Amino acid sequence: FAPWDDPTEKPLIRFRNVTKRFGAFTAIDDLTLDIFEREFFALLGPSGCGKTTMMRMLAGFETPSEGTIELAGQDIAAVPPNKRAVNMMFQSYALFPHLSVYDNIAFGLRRDSLPRADIDARVGEMLKLTRLEKFARRKPHQISGGQRQRVALARSLAKAPKLLLLDEPLGALDAKLRQATQFELMDIQEKTGTTFVIVTHDQEEAMTVASRVAVMDEGRVMQVATPERIYEAPESVYVADFIGDVNIVPGTARAVGDGLFQLNWAEDTVPFIAASEGAFSEGQACHLAIRPEKIAISAERPPEAENAVHGKVLDIAYLGNLSTYHVELPGGQVIKAQTANTRRISRRSFTWEDPVWVSWTKTAGVLLDQ
Ligand code: ATP
C-alpha cells in the first residue's frame, strides 16, 4: 500500500480530454485529470502554463473548447457559476472595506436569505475555525494582513462549498507569516473536509500543503503525484528540474539485468549504474537525474561505493545548515553535491581545486528517457 494509489479515493472533479483555446492559442491541451474528495491539490507550473485557466473553468468563468469537466458526477458545462458548489478565493481577498469581519463572512449567507439564527450559527463556526472570534466587529483595515487572509477564507467556506479554489492565497503575506499560514490552511482544510485546489508559483508551498501536486507545462500536466513522488521519482527531466535542485547527466543506456542499467556518460570513464523500473533499449539516449543531497563527497574513494568518480572542487557555497560543492568530473560535467553541516566544526571540509571523490548508490537517482 502506498498513499498515492489509495483505492478508496473518490474523484470529486474529473477533467476529461479538456482543451481550451483562446483564438488560435491553446491554453489547455487535451487534459485528463482526477481530483479527489477531501484532497488538498496543488497546480504548479511556470507563468502562462494554464493554471488560472483551469481554475476559471472549474469556477465557471470559462468553458472548455473541447472535453468535459465533472463535479461530483455531474457535467458542469451547463451549470452557471453561482449554482456550482464551488467557491474561489482571490489573492486580493476582495473583502468589503465598509463591512465588519462578521458581516463580510455573513454576506453570502444573507444573500441566500437564510434565517438569522442559522446565519449567526454558521458565522460563529467560521469565526472559530479561523480564530477570528475576537475580531468579529472590526473592519478589514483594523486587522492585520494575516487576519484579513483568514476572513477571506472564512467567507469562502461559509456556504460549505464542495470545492474551494485558492489562487495564490498567500501571495500578499511575508515569508514568516506565509509559512505559519500554510499550516493553518492545511488544518482548516482537514477540519472542513472541503477539497482545496491551490495555484501557487511557490514550489515549497505546494510541497508543504498539498496531498498531490500536478506539475504543468504549456497547458499539459507533466506529472500528478504526492510531493514525495514528485521529488523522489520524477518521470521527466522537466519535472525533476522544476522541483528543487537536481543534477542531470546525459548519456546512453545499456541494460545489465536485474533492473539495472549502465549510463555511459563520457568517453574513457566507468559507466554509472542505476536501478530503474523503466525499459531502455541498447544505446538509447537518457538522463540520470540525481539530487545534490544524495551525493557524498570524500577525499578517498569509499570502498563500497556503487558509483564513484574522481573530480575537482570548482566552487563551494556555505549556506549555514548546508554546504554545496560544485565538482568538475572528467569530460567537463559538473556535479553538485550537498552536505549537511550537522557538526559545529566540520571534520573535513574541502576547498577550491581540491581533488575529491563524489559517490552515490545505484538507487540514489532516476534514469529518465525524456
Ligand atoms: P500565471 O502563473 O502567470 O498566472 P497561469 O499558469 O495561470 O499563469 P493562465 O492565466 O491560465 O496561466 O494563462 C495560460 C495562457 O493562456 C497564457 O499564455 C495566457 O496569455 C493565455 N490566456 C489566458 N486567458 C486568455 C484570454 N482570455 N484570451 C487570450 N489568451 C488568454
pLDDT per position in the chain (370 positions), as tens?
Answer: 344 455 568 899 999 999 999 999 999 999 999 999 999 999 999 999 999 999 999 999 999 999 999 999 999 988 888 889 999 987 667 899 999 999 999 999 998 888 999 999 999 999 999 999 999 999 999 999 889 989 999 999 999 999 999 998 888 788 888 888 899 999 999 999 999 999 988 888 999 999 999 999 999 999 999 999 999 999 999 999 999 899 999 999 999 988 899 999 988 888 999 988 888 899 999 999 999 999 999 999 999 899 999 999 999 988 888 899 999 998 899 999 999 887 766 555 788 889 999 999 999 999 998 7
**DSSP 8-class letter at 61:** S
Distance from residue 145's CA to the centre of ligand 1 (Å):
27
Residue 21 C-alpha to ligand 1 middle, in angstroms?
A: 10
Residues 107-123: pLDDT tens digits?
A: 999 988 889 999 999 99
From the options 3.40.50.300, 1.20.1560.10, 3.40.50.2300, 1.10.645.10, give the CATH code of 3-240.
3.40.50.300
C-alpha cell at 160: 460549505
Q: Which residues make beta-bridge pairs with 148?
A: none
- Identify the residue whose C-alpha is closest to ligand 1 atom 2: 47
Dihedral, CA atoms, 301, 305, 309, 315, nearest 10 degrees?
-80
Which protein residues touch ligand 1 with a CB less than 6 Å away? 22, 25, 27, 45, 47-53
Question: Residue of the nearest CA to atom 23 in ligand 1?
Answer: 53
ipTM: 0.94
Whole-number Å distance between alpha carbons of 136 and 41 = 30
Task: With CA atoms as reference, report the closest residue to 140 among 87, 92, 90, 89.
Answer: 92
Whose alpha carbon is nearest atom 26 of ligand 1?
22
- Cα-to-centroid distance, 54 and ligand 1 (Å): 10
Bridge partners, residue 311, by sequence: 356
Q: Where are the domains of the chain?
A: 3-240, 245-368
Per-residue pLDDT tens digits for 53-84: 999 999 999 999 999 999 999 999 888 888 89
CA-49 nearest atom, ligand 1 = 6
Cell of 184: 493553518
Atom number in ligand 1 closest to CA 50: 11
Q: Which three cell numbers stand for residue 231?
A: 521529488
For the domain bounded by 245-368, which CATH number is listed? 2.40.50.140
CA–CA dist 75, 80 (Å, integer) = 12
- Looking up cell 469537466 gives 69
Which residue's CA is minimally distant from atom 16 of ligand 1? Answer: 27
Ligand 1 probe mutation, 20, 51, 165, most atoms within 8 A of CB: 51
Q: What distance in Å separates the CA atoms of residue 157 and residue 192, rounded to the nearest whole number?
A: 9
Residue nearest to atom 27 of ligand 1 (CA): 22
**How is residue 12 written as a grid cell?**
470529486
